């Protein structure tokens, strides 16, 4: 019986319950709506746009996705390089001198390629550190988007692999062999992207703009290029920078014999491709790549990654690993080989290290 002798009818009880439910609804509807909104923002709708990977500090980066966008960046940069050269609007100017006193050139091809490559990579992976040979002018920021598609050959050969975004450093060379580019020696020119994880190069992309050839490889992943089947270790063909040919030739012939072949060439990317099985008519073949002076890391990181992925080596002239963190330069020169006794090569060429710091 209700208090004070009031008897509640079944209809009154129903009304009372409905009022109670209404109060509870108003109290908790805001909370539930907020939780639902948070869930919807956290989990992308199937088929809908995803947030860029690596956009939050401490987030994860999928190396397969980063490989895909690195290939696209190298190609897009290469299109700018080719367009400027074929239009003969290089606007070449000196940007400084090398340690050896040679004048370094800067062209419109360098700058436009750099802008395209940098902003494509940055828009896809905003939390990842990107180091480039050329400065990025924020006043000329370009919106370059990636549709998140992965080429079929990468899908088939490479499995997804996530790493912390803060462990990743991307090195881009928007135009390798600028001097040769100004001389219209097109076969030497490449655009390159390298991904290093904790300082170790794990993804390398080398693109030749004037033949549309692209080599890529990922350590413990896959590649679209392979090592050649045979090498000559007793009298190797040694590929070197055009300006270093005389310096290396004398020591190399004393070490390996007079039949040793010295191949002068431009561009670090081209020299690494010379060690591989490349379906390119304008690509020379070599057994060893040697550089005897200081060299920038964006010149060599992509080639180092490709060689590592295929079981090859790129070290300083004394055999030390090259780390892709910290400063942008490598002081110890380099020697690169594949399917050869790398340690024996280093021991045979001890005198070259003495010239690497000059």
User: What are the binding residues for Mg(2+)?
Assistant: 133, 173, 175-176, 299
Q: Is 178 annotated in the active site?
A: yes
Q: Is 110 annotated in the active site?
A: yes
CA gap 181, 347 in Å, rounded: 35
Catalytic pick among 178, 214, 293, 315: 178
Which single residue is written with the structure tokens 């896809």? 124
Task: Give the three-state DSSP class for 238.
Answer: strand
Among the listed residues 214, 134, 200, the one whose alpha carbon sits nearest the alpha carbon of residue 169: 200
Catalytic pick among 107, 110, 190, 191: 110
Q: State phi, psi for 287 to the nearest 5 degrees.
A: -100, -30
CA gap 84, 222 in Å, rounded: 33
User: What are the binding residues?
Assistant: 133, 173, 175-176, 299
- Is residue 348 classed exposed, middle or buried when 0-12, 13-18 and 19+ CB atoms within 10 A define those classes? middle
CA gap 240, 75 in Å, rounded: 26
CA gap 351, 251 in Å, rounded: 8
Task: Tell me the catalytic residues.
Answer: 110, 178
């Amino acid at each position: 019986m209700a208090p004070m002798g009031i008897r509640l009818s079944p209809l009154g009880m129903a009304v009372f319950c409905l009022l109670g439910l209404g109060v509870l609804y108003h109290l908790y509807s805001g909370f539930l709506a907020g939780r639902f909104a948070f869930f919807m923002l956290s989990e992308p709708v199937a088929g809908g746009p995803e947030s860029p990977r690596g956009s939050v500090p401490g987030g994860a980066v999928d190396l397969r996705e980063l490989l895909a966008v690195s290939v696209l960046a190298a190609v897009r940069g290469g299109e700018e390089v080719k367009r400027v050269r074929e239009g003969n609007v290089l606007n070449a100017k000196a940007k400084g001198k090398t340690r050896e006193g040679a004048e370094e050139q800067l062209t419109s091809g360098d700058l436009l390629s750099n802008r395209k490559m940098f902003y494509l990579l940055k828009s896809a992976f905003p939390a990842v550190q990107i180091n480039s040979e050329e400065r990025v002018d924020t006043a000329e920021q370009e919106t370059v988007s990636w549709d998140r598609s992965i080429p079929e050959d990468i899908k088939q050969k490479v499995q997804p692999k996530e790493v912390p975004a803060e462990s990743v450093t991307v090195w881009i060379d928007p135009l390798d062999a600028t001097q040769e580019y100004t001389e219209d020696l097109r076969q030497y020119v490449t655009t390159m992207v390298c991904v290093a994880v904790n300082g170790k190069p794990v993804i390398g992309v080398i693109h030749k703009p004037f033949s549309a050839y692209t080599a890529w490889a990922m350590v413990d992943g896959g590649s679209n290029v392979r090592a050649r089947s045979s090498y000559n270790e007793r009298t190797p063909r040694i590929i070197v920078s055009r300006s270093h040919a005389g310096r290396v030739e004398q020591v190399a012939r004393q070490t390996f014999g007079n039949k040793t072949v010295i191949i002068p060439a431009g561009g670090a990317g081209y020299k690494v491709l010379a060690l591989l099985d490349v379906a390119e008519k304008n690509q020379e073949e070599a057994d060893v790549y040697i550089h005897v002076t200081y060299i920038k890391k964006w010149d060599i990181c992509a080639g180092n990654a490709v060689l590592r992925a295929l079981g090859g080596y790129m070290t300083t002239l004394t055999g030390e690993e090259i780390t892709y963190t910290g400063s942008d330069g490598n002081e110890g020169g380099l020697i690169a080989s594949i399917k050869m006794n790398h340690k024996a090569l280093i021991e045979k060429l001890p005198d070259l290290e003495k010239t690497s710091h000059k």
